[in-house]
Amino acid sequence: MGIVKAITEWATSPWGQNVPIHIAFFLIWVAAIAGLLFFIVHSIYVRYFAKPEEFAGTVSPTLEATLPPRIPRHSLVARLFHWIMAAAMFTLLFTAFLPKVGVRFDWVTYHWIAGTVLTVSIIFHIIHASFWLDFWAIWPDKEDLVDAWRRVRRFMGLPAPPPRRFAKYPLENKLYHGAILATGLTAIGTGVFMMFRVRTIFFPRNPYLFSDMTWGLMYVLHGLAGVGLIALVMVHVYFAVRPEKRDITKSMIFGTMRREFYLTHYDPERWNVEVSSTVSRRADKES
């Protein structure tokens, strides 16, 4: 209970009830500092301690010869969703937390508009991923867990066979997706109800929809999700700009990655690339 009080702001309602009203905003700095510490520790580990990647098995030369120079990874629709979601997410974070660190502006309207864009884009993504993409590609499977255990044992100096190359999305991407899903849906779910407390184009303002205690808990959950997203977005941007991840980042811009990068890091049996003749011809021209 002491920790809860320490990370929560409280106030007395008109009826004399002690209710939470938001998170304690020092948590903004906790999240930012945690993100910076992760950058530093990871950079030092990669620079001085990480061992070269080693994978089990080899890629068939016959298969290699059938692949185009550029491997398609993200469709145009998937890329547009990603960048619209990113723009909405940054707008939400800036409009939510800049006023808390002293930057004053009329942020409420920008915030709920960005929240609406994020909500619509997420709904679209769920439908798109369910019917037009491989929905289960982003969820951990048994092979991910087996390979993760092998990596842990090898990291600790214990005997273990080399892990297989990755599926389209490695386990760390899948775990990050789960974390961003949990925090994002929490922020969206609470944010939709919080829109009843401000004037929007969607429904009449009704600050009496819930009790003071329920509103307070909703604001706390929304705030915790927000500061969690600060750290998660920082980590995402950090990996996006790292040199060894550059091919992955470029694929979110241009839609494809180099064949050499694909063959080095990915298992064709776990990520079976289907290349149309049109994509193959375009890739040949780009090379």
> What does the pLDDT read at residue 275?
61
CB 229 within 8 A of CB 183: yes
Q: Looking at the domain assignment, is residue 74 inside a domain?
A: yes
What's the whole-number mean pLDDT along residues 22-51?
A: 94
What's the whole-number mean pLDDT along residues 187-206?
A: 93
Residues 6+ apart with CB under 8 A from 286: 69, 70, 256
CA distances from 228 to 131, 187, 211, 269 (A): 30, 10, 26, 35
Q: Looking at the domain assignment, is residue 255 inside a domain?
A: yes
275 or 262: which leads in pLDDT: 262
Q: Looking at the domain assignment, is residue 121 inside a domain?
A: yes
> What does the pLDDT read at residue 1?
60
Indicate whether 203 pLDDT > 70: yes
Number of compact structural domains in the chain: 1
Q: Looking at the domain assignment, is residue 200 inside a domain?
A: yes
In this predicted model, what pLDDT tens digit does every residue of 125-161 receive, in sequence order? 999 999 999 999 999 999 999 999 999 999 999 999 9
Q: How confident is the model at residue 287 (pLDDT cuts 50, 70, 90)?
A: very low
In this predicted model, what pLDDT tens digit does every residue of 214-243 receive, in sequence order? 999 999 999 999 999 999 999 999 999 999
Q: Looking at the domain assignment, is residue 5 inside a domain?
A: no
> Could you please report the per-residue DSSP string of the chain?
-HHHHHTEEEEE-TTS-EEEEEE-TTHHHHHHHHHHHHHHHHHHHHHHTPPPP--SS---HHHHHHS-SEEE-S-HHHHHHHHHHHHHHHHHHHHHHTGGGT--S--HHHHHHHHHHHHHHHHHHHHHHHHTS-GGGGS--HHHHHHHHHHHHHHTT---PPPPPB-SS-HHHHHHHHHHHHHHHHHHHHHHHHGGGS--SSS---TTSS-HHHHHHHHHHHHHHHHHHHHHHHHHHHHHHSGGGHHHHHHHHHSEEEHHHHHHHB-TTTS-----HHHHHHHHHH-
> What does the pLDDT read at residue 61?
85
Indicate whether 35 pLDDT > 70: yes
Q: How confident is the model at residue 278 (pLDDT cuts 50, 70, 90)?
A: very low
Indicate whether 171 pLDDT > 50: yes
Instruction: Find the CATH number of the domain harbouring 193.
Output: 1.20.950.20
> What does the pLDDT read at residue 282?
46
256, with CB counted inside 10 A (0-12, 13-18, 19+), is: buried
Q: Which domain holds residue 82?
A: 59-206+233-286
> What does the pLDDT read at residue 285?
47
pTM above 0.75, yes or no: yes
Q: What is the mean pLDDT of the chain?
A: 91
Indicate whether 31 pLDDT > 60: yes
> What does the pLDDT read at residue 138?
95
Query: In this structure, what are the phi and psi dihedrals at residue 52, rounded to the nearest 5 degrees?
Result: -60, 145
Q: Looking at the domain assignment, is residue 36 inside a domain?
A: no
Indicate whether 280 pLDDT > 60: no
Indicate whether 276 pLDDT > 60: no
> What does the pLDDT read at residue 284?
47
Q: Looking at the domain assignment, is residue 275 inside a domain?
A: yes
> What does the pLDDT read at residue 277?
45
Q: Looking at the domain assignment, is residue 11 inside a domain?
A: no
In terms of average pLDDT, the best of 64-73, 96-105, 225-234, 263-272 is 225-234
